Structure 1
Amino acid sequence: MELKFNGLPEGMAFYMPEKARSLDLLKNTGQNILESFGYEPLYVPALLPYSLVCSGVEKEKVKNYYKLIDYQGDILVLRPEMTSAIASLVAREQDNITFPARFYYYSSVYRHETTQSGKDREIYQLGAERFGGSEDADIEILLLIQKIIEAAGLDDFQVEVGNISFLEEVFVSLDLEQNLVKKLKVKLASRDLVGYRNICLELEKDKKDKLLKLLELRGGPEIFAKAEKIIGSNNKSLEHLKKIYSSLKLINMAERINFDLTLMRNLDYYTGIVFEVMSPNLGYNICGGGRYDKLLSRFGVESIPAVGFAIGMERLRLAVNGGQSLDRSSKIKIYLEDVNDLDKSFELIDELQDKGFETLIEYENLKVDNIDADEIIIKIDDIFAVFIEKEERNFERIAEVLEYVRTELENSNA
């Protein structure tokens, strides 16, 4: 029976070599930076128990998770995010972990989202989680994010920073009902500011005025004075944000920080600082994260202070150079004319690969326009294609050719 390809499930995609190489380049760049900060790799299962993933999560959010039933009748979930799973691991293994602990991962997560460019349902993420230590770890995390995104080649981005604790304190000071607080949080998390305003307009004047003034708390450090008029001076949450800004400013990393004290995240475990990375190249965030000091208590152990982030790698790829190929290094590929004597061919391949050359057999069907039969070296985009015919297949001639190519390569990269 002939199999017909009818397309992939919505939000899933194949990645051809050019895109795949770009993602690998971004991943490797980020991993190297994380390793330099002492973060260690973790792997998390793709399938997780329903109870682990969905405990404490609102039903509306659970609807967006991919669920299945295994052969024993247990409900499993394709991991929708990494933090809860890693927190459960830390809760279980904490006696074997030295704190503060730093972990990073590169994994796919799966969520049912409205699909558009960069908003797939299989989401490739590079992320990091730090468990233990003081709130000063927030500074390290914000520094890490900026270093990774800058190293990826994206210059035009801002880090939006807020604090969940500040918002909670404002809501408590106004003695708002929990149902009302929930509605306000939903509007802020979805950035539905019109809906937020409409809710506020139905309240008594004092509450309405203060809640609407929250929308003005966006910008640089000058917003702290406005915030103190709402919540009072010496507020712990505001003082922490001031400290973050001062510390990043000392190392010239505060320029991209933009405060938004109405910033909410869609996950309900955040307790302090929250942040998102935005770029005018995209209409949605590239990276998000925050502090979740109480998450481990969901797994029956004493909580450990923690903070982390996740970068959407496809979103980052799209933001950098419009999604064009990110691998700009010149390469050398050596094509060997097909011959009957495969033993000699593979002997030559082994020799060339040991010298760091990508080597292929059979180039008679290679689709390269206008190859001059007398030329054995062709520059194709960023690739030096070296064609070696069987009559020239001796090491002296090859050494001569490769020396020439290396010179050309050095000149092209100069």
Structure 2
Amino acid sequence: MKFNSNPVRGTFDVLPQDMELRNWVQDTIKKTYRQRGYMQMETPCIENLELLNHSEGGENLRLLFKILKRGDKLTFDELSENALCDLGLRFDLTLPLSRFYANNRNELPTPFKSFQMGYVWRAERPQKGRFRQFTQCDIDIIGEKSIYAEIDLLLTIPKALYELGFKNFTIKINDRRLLKDMVVKAGFKEEDFDTVCITLDKMDKVGEDGVTQELLDKAYEEAKVHKLLELLNTNIGGFDSEHAKELQKAIDIVSKYYPIDFEPTLVRGMGYYTGPIFEIVSEDFRGSIAGGGRYDNLLSKFQKDSIPAVGFSIGFERIITILKERNFKIPTMEKKVALVFTEEQQLKEVIDLTEKLTGGGSLVTNFFVNRNKLGKKVNQLEEQGYEVQVIK
């Protein structure tokens, strides 16, 4: 029996040359995060299913990869997913960070500026730039309630993108509280807010007509729908609230360094967002390449006191996709040297030279090659970007 060698749909193998690019992108992002005072931490890939199911993860809760109970814990008395499963793969890094902070709070500074990079999983319908397994690169600030936390994030993520060679992007910013005010003012009930937001979140994909039709299909009154779409054209100056003033403060400061626009239709899919929300859109990709927002209530799942928190994440796989389409070359790649020898007695010379070159910062590999295949091997190594030295 022959097995299919392709990776699971929505996942991918990473070739060595692609791994070099991924490592360089991660290292560049990490360097920027560290320069801005963010400390790296890590959480497990799996979390308790009960926690995941009560995370206010929005549409992502339908995309959970669940793990069957093991051994004596697994019974078939009730054949439901939640009865058979007790763990799940994390669908983002924010919920695990909240659990991490609650568990390690006494060991951490306040405010806690953290970053985490790692795989997350969602049972998506695979398409360009959207996978079932993908990497996220998050920064978060826990314990700071002022708008200055958002400003710090909004200056850090674009800096990382600049270091990666991205210039033609725009930050889009909104506030869930302003959005809720518009929904209620249009005549919708407060309890309709999340349902309305699920539809509004599709604005960039289906346009205003598509959003209108979907809201009408959900049996909302036409007058309310049109009133909401009218309010969504309001600029930031049209709001008289502290939330709007704080948002304007962030826009005024960040706009001196990076392009930023108020976008009243911006929703963000996660239900746990409580205040400012933001995305970065690029002309090189349809959709956002980074996103985040404030989630002040998420940590209350673990403790009585409310702790403010805000985070921002780079869409790592989308960045990689864009760079590969550009045929991007790593600008700071170490020198790669391949030492090729054809006689066993040359081994000591090869080892000595390897030690010397690696001591000087080069990446060195060596190969013992049949003399008849020497030319072919040299050509192959040069195609892989190596400077080839044949030991004679």
Q: TM-score range by the shorter chain?
A: 0.7 to 0.9
Confirm whether residue 190 of structure 1 aligns to residue 202 of structure 2.
Answer: yes
Mapping of residues 362-381 of structure 1, within 5 Å: 362-363=368-369, 365=373, 380=382
User: Secondary structure, in 3 states, of the residue corresponding to 1:310?
Assistant: strand
- What's the CA shift string for 1:248-301, capped at 9, x where partnerless? 23xx314x2122112111110001111111112211211110011111012233
- What's the CA shift string for 1:34-60, capped at 9, x where partnerless? 001111111110111101212144786
- What's the CA shift string for 1:132-160, capped at 9, x where partnerless? 12221100101111101111111221111
Note the C-alpha offset of 1:164: 0.5
User: Secondary structure, in 3 states, of the residue corresponding to 1:216?
Assistant: coil
- What's the CA shift string for 1:218-245, capped at 9, x where partnerless? xxxxx223x33xxxx2x11211111001
351-360 vs 133-142, which moves further:
351-360
What is the letter of the counterpart of residue 338 of structure 1?
T
* Match in the other structure for 1:339: 343
What is the letter of the counterpart of residue 351 of structure 1?
K
Q: 1:7 and 1:321 mapped to 2: Cα distance?
A: 21
Q: 2:358 aligns with which of 350, 353, 356?
A: 353
Q: What is the number of residues matched between the two proteins?
A: 368
User: Secondary structure, in 3 states, of the residue corresponding to 1:130?
Assistant: strand
Asked whether the equivalents of residues 162 and 275 of structure 1 are also in contact (C-alpha less than 8 Å), the reply is yes
Q: 2:359 and 2:267 mapped to 1: Cα distance?
A: 53
* Match in the other structure for 2:221: 203
Confirm whether residue 21 of structure 1 aligns to residue 20 of structure 2.
Answer: yes
* Match in the other structure for 1:159: 171
Asked whether the equivalents of residues 329 and 382 of structure 1 are also in contact (C-alpha less than 8 Å), the reply is no
* Match in the other structure for 1:120: 131
- Could you list the runs of 5+ residues in structure 2 that have no partner in the other structure? 75-84
* Match in the other structure for 2:302: 299
Q: 1:41 and 1:180 mapped to 2: Cα distance?
A: 38
Note the C-alpha offset of 1:162: 1.0
Q: 1:150 and 1:179 mapped to 2: Cα distance?
A: 41
Note the C-alpha offset of 1:70: 3.8
Asked whether the equivalents of residues 187 and 195 of structure 1 are also in contact (C-alpha less than 8 Å), the reply is no
Q: 2:140 and 2:101 mapped to 1: Cα distance?
A: 11
* Match in the other structure for 2:77: none
Asked whether the equivalents of residues 156 and 280 of structure 1 are also in contact (C-alpha less than 8 Å), the reply is yes
Q: 2:264 and 2:91 mapped to 1: Cα distance?
A: 27
Alpha-carbon spacing, 1:332–1:288, altered in 2? closer, same or farther (3 Å): same
* Match in the other structure for 1:61: 60
Note the C-alpha offset of 1:311: 1.1
* Match in the other structure for 2:152: 140
* Match in the other structure for 2:80: none
Note the C-alpha offset of 1:361: 2.5
Mapping of residues 1-400 of structure 1, within 5 Å: 4-57=3-56, 61-71=60-70, 72-73=73-74, 75-133=86-144, 134-178=146-190, 180-191=192-203, 192=206, 193-198=208-213, 199=215, 203=221, 205=223, 207-217=224-234, 223-225=235-237, 227-228=238-239, 233=240, 235-249=241-255, 252-254=256-258, 256-320=259-323, 322=325, 324-329=327-332, 331-341=335-345, 342-357=347-362, 358-363=364-369, 365=373, 380=382, 383=385, 385-390=387-392
Q: 2:118 and 2:160 mapped to 1: Cα distance?
A: 17
Q: 2:361 and 2:57 mapped to 1: Cα distance?
A: 53
Note the C-alpha offset of 1:29: 0.4
User: Secondary structure, in 3 states, of the residue corresponding to 2:98?
Assistant: helix
* % identical aligned pairs: 24
Q: 1:370 and 1:384 mapped to 2: Cα distance?
A: 9
Q: TM-score, normalised by structure 2?
A: 0.85
User: Secondary structure, in 3 states, of the residue corresponding to 2:42?
Assistant: coil
Q: 2:22 and 2:374 mapped to 1: Cα distance?
A: 26
Asked whether the equivalents of residues 107 and 126 of structure 1 are also in contact (C-alpha less than 8 Å), the reply is yes
Q: 2:177 and 2:230 mapped to 1: Cα distance?
A: 17
Note the C-alpha offset of 1:76: 1.1
What is the letter of the counterpart of residue 89 of structure 1?
F
User: Secondary structure, in 3 states, of the residue corresponding to 1:360?
Assistant: strand
Asked whether the equivalents of residues 70 and 76 of structure 1 are also in contact (C-alpha less than 8 Å), the reply is yes
What is the letter of the counterpart of residue 266 of structure 2?
L
Alpha-carbon spacing, 1:195–1:51, altered in 2? closer, same or farther (3 Å): same
What is the letter of the counterpart of residue 352 of structure 2?
E
Alpha-carbon spacing, 1:384–1:297, altered in 2? closer, same or farther (3 Å): closer
User: Secondary structure, in 3 states, of the residue corresponding to 1:286?
Assistant: strand
Note the C-alpha offset of 1:338: 3.2
- Could you list the runs of 5+ residues in structure 1 that have no partner in the other structure? 218-222, 372-377, 391-414
155-164 vs 320-329, which moves further:
320-329
Asked whether the equivalents of residues 87 and 295 of structure 1 are also in contact (C-alpha less than 8 Å), the reply is yes
